[in-house]
């Protein structure tokens, strides 16, 4: 799990060091990294850098990225159906969600990082198949809200599918209207 925030208007972003619990992270231990991959302060986290760096390079509108590996997020990322529009949480992402196929650890910026940024496109949320979830935003607040809603949608889906129950999904027109209403 890694979170980052870009210093607006620059090619510098901050993230936390690998291996620390969130309650152990302080401002003084944050990594300061430029978009060339140079760690200006702190010790490197290669996979986190590749994911965040390539998205920031491709998306000047993005200033914050959250990538997590929650149980429910990984479970839905591994479902062939992806995220189903079965809850108000999920409607935020109706026809606005990207998917990226699993390709081991992100260690190669040219092959893996570029493909991930390409798959994200101009969307704000993505499932990394068999891996987890990623959200981004113009602000830290926006990236957090998308991650919160995506995590809740995954929890609802996992709970609803237990025991093989059939679920009721609204019509595509209602799902699109709900998505627009949620976003406005």
Contact at 8 Å (CB) between 37 and 123?
no
14 sits in which H/E element? strand 12-15
Report CA 124 to chain centroid distance, whole Å.
Answer: 8
Q: What pLDDT, on a 0 to 100 scale, did the predictor assign at position 124?
A: 97
* 36 contact partners, CB below 8 Å, separation of at least 6: 11
Give me the sign of the Cα torsion angle 2, 182, 151, 82.
Answer: negative
| The most confident of 25-34, 76-85, 158-167, by mean pLDDT | 76-85
Instruction: Output the pLDDT for position 44.
Output: 63
Q: What is the pLDDT of residues 130-159, one digit of tens each?
A: 999 999 999 999 999 999 999 999 999 999
Give the pLDDT band of residue 122 (cuts 50, 70, 90).
Answer: very high
Q: What is the pLDDT of residues 74-112, one digit of tens each?
A: 999 999 999 999 999 999 999 999 999 988 655 555 666
Give kind and range of the element (H or E) at residue 15: strand 12-15
Higher pLDDT, 73 or 44: 73
What pTM value is reported for the model?
0.89
């Amino acid at each position: 799990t890694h979170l980052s925030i870009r210093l607006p208007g620059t090619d510098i972003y901050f993230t936390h060091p690998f291996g620390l619990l969130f309650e152990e992270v302080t401002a003084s231990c944050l990594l300061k990294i430029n978009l060339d991959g140079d760690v200006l302060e702190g010790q490197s986290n290669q996979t986190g850098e590749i994911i965040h760096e390539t998205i920031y390079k491709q998306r000047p509108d993005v200033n914050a990225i959250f990538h997590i590996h929650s149980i429910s997020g990984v479970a839905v990322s591994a479902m062939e159906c992806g995220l189903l529009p079965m809850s108000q949480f999920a409607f935020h992402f109706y026809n606005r969600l990207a998917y990226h196929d699993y390709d081991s650890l992100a260690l190669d910026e040219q092959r893996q990082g570029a493909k991930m940024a390409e798959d994200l496109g101009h969307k704000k949320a993505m499932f990394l198949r068999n891996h987890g979830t990623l959200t981004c935003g113009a602000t830290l607040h926006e990236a957090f809200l998308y991650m919160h809603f995506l995590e809740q949608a995954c929890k609802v889906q996992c709970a609803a599918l237990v025991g093989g129950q059939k679920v009721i999904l609204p019509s595509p027109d209602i799902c699109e209207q709900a998505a627009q209403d949620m976003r406005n």
